[in-house]
């Protein structure tokens, strides 16, 4: 019959889709997997002798399986699911949208009964794939969050053919970074399991960073939009509309004063904060604060320090810390740098030669404790103003560099700011130490 090329065969009075799995794919499947896919179209041969309707169904099965097989061959088995894609295609044949079992259970009774009636009338109620298609049974998308960004980038790569390779790489890395941050907050899971609570937790995580670090709301919003876009695109691609499309709705307002926070005055730092009894602040958090005060480093950079980044041993003639991208992203290319340790910063790091392990990836938690302790040194802010935070010590450090007439190149090399123009050579550590000694808080009063 003409239907042969569409992998159709008449079996027991029905048109069946029957196609051999390519050897390259079969080798990737579980041992014992049958080498032939066999699915009923639910269409009687007598009602469709030329297989006109059956061919339309077979084409949908073909598209679903070929996509699944391609993903497996390309090494993306986590993004593939024979049962899921077949169930989606089969549900469309019956005129329904596929829904996982938990969603079917919440449908109006008459719709559930309607689905069962279709199975009975088509004679396919005994077919597992048909029962799965209309009554659920595959409650996962088979795409984990950890694989979602790569799957998304591959899916939409053709849409960005106007971009240069570098532009494309940059855009893809941005999506991957956003998803990594989301996973760090909510954990890795099937993307269909993402809830409104997860979206709110991600928003709170960003709110804490905006509050405690020099981060713009624009970066937070882009991250949230990227995560939502990745999940929604994959859901739409696979026809799995179980994801709560409203999970991220309204996650866009971050309260923050538009003006940059003021720096801590020199006198307040030297004569008040460093002279105060830190008994009510956790010792490690106090030392984190001292390192920020003495080096101007970002709090997130300080808490991320690993033992190999800390050089305060007896063989280190010039003690310093190294800010690197080992295991973490840095804010700018210049953020990777070496900062000499002097004064209170040196004392604090010597007390913590292994770094600050409890806060390695919990900068917001450390900042929250420190900021709460710092409020005792400030009056209640007037309307429109905000409390100074640990990050304001970084602004104080910058001001002090200006006071001692540090060059632009020196300021960039110490603070890790984005520099303009070509970069010729590096500022020697000894030159940095000379400047640092001029502004060091030499002791705690």
Q: What pLDDT shows up at residue 92?
A: 66
User: Averaged over 30-44, what is the pLDDT?
Assistant: 80
pTM of the model: 0.53
Q: What pLDDT shows up at residue 160?
A: 56
Q: What pLDDT shows up at residue 33?
A: 79
Q: How many helices (H) and strands (E) does the chain have?
A: 18, 6
The rounded distance, in Å, linking the Cα atoms of 155 and 414 is: 42
Flag whether pLDDT at 311 surpasses 90: yes
Q: What pLDDT shows up at residue 257?
A: 47
Residue 45 confidence class, pLDDT cut points 50, 70, 90: confident
Dihedral of CA 386/387/390/396: which sign?
Answer: positive
pLDDT digits (tens, 9 = 90+) for 135-155: 776 555 557 888 888 888 877
Flag whether pLDDT at 37 surpasses 80: yes
Please, what is the average pLDDT of the chain? 80
User: Averaged over 36-42, what is the pLDDT?
Assistant: 80
The rounded distance, in Å, linking the Cα atoms of 82 and 88 is: 10
Flag whether pLDDT at 340 surpasses 80: yes
The rounded distance, in Å, linking the Cα atoms of 345 and 295 is: 7
How are beta strands 310-311 and 14-20 bridged, if at all? unpaired
Poorest-pLDDT segment among 40-44, 117-121, 126-130, 287-291 = 126-130
Calculate the alpha carbon distances from 218 to 253, 256, 378 in Å. 10, 12, 29
3-state secondary structure 177-230: HHHHHHHHHHCCCEHHHCCHHHHHHHHHHHHHHHHHCCCCHHHHHHHHHHHHHH
User: Averaged over 367-386, what is the pLDDT?
Assistant: 86
Higher per-residue pLDDT: 302 or 2: 302
Contact 344, 290 (CB under 8 A): yes
User: Averaged over 94-108, what is the pLDDT?
Assistant: 72
């Amino acid at each position: 019959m003409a239907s042969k090329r569409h992998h159709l065969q008449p079996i027991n009075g029905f048109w069946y889709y029957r196609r051999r799995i390519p050897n390259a794919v079969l080798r990737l499947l579980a041992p014992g997997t049958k080498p032939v896919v066999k699915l009923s179209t639910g269409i009687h041969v007598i009602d469709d002798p030329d297989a006109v309707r059956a061919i339309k169904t077979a084409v949908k099965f073909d598209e679903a399986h070929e996509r699944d097989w391609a993903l497996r061959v390309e090494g993306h088995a986590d993004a593939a699911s024979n049962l899921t894609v077949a169930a989606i295609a089969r549900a469309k044949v019956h005129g329904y949208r596929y829904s996982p079992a938990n969603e079917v259970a919440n449908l109006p009774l008459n719709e559930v009964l309607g689905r069962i009636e279709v199975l009975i009338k088509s004679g396919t109620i005994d077919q597992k794939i048909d029962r799965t298609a209309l009554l659920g049974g595959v409650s996962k998308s088979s795409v984990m969050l950890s694989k979602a960004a790569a799957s998304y980038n591959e899916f939409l790569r053709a849409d960005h053919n106007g971009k240069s390779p570098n532009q494309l790489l940059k855009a893809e890395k941005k999506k991957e970074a956003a998803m990594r941050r989301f996973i760090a907050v909510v954990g890795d899971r099937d993307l269909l399991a993402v809830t409104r609570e997860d979206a709110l937790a991600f928003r709170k995580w960003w709110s804490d960073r905006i509050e405690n670090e020099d981060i713009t709301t624009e970066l937070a919003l882009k991250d949230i939009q990227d995560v939502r876009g990745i999940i929604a695109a994959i859901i739409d691609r696979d026809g799995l509309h179980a994801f709560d499309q409203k999970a991220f709705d309204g996650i866009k307002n971050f309260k923050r004063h538009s003006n940059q926070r003021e720096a801590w005055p020199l006198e307040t730092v030297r004569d008040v904060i460093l002279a105060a009894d830190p008994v009510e602040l956790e010792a490690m958090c106090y030392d984190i604060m001292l390192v920020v005060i003495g080096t101007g480093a970002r709090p997130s950079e300080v808490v991320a320090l690993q033992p190999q980044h800390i050089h305060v041993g007896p063989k280190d003639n010039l003690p310093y810390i190294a800010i690197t991208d080992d295991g973490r992203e840095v804010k700018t290319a210049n953020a990777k740098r070496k900062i000499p340790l002097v004064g209170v910063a040196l004392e604090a790091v010597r007390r913590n030669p292994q770094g600050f392990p409890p806060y390695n990836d919990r900068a917001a938690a450390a900042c929250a404790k420190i900021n709460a302790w710092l409020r005792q040194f400030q009056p209640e802010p007037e309307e429109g103003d905000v409390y100074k935070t640990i990050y304001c010590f970084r602004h104080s450090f910058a001001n002090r560099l200006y006071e001692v007439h540090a060059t632009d190149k020196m300021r960039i090399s110490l603070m890790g700011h984005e520099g303009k123009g070509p970069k010729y050579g590096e500022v020697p550590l000894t030159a940095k130490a000379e400047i640092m000694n001029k502004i060091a808080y030499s002791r705690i009063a």
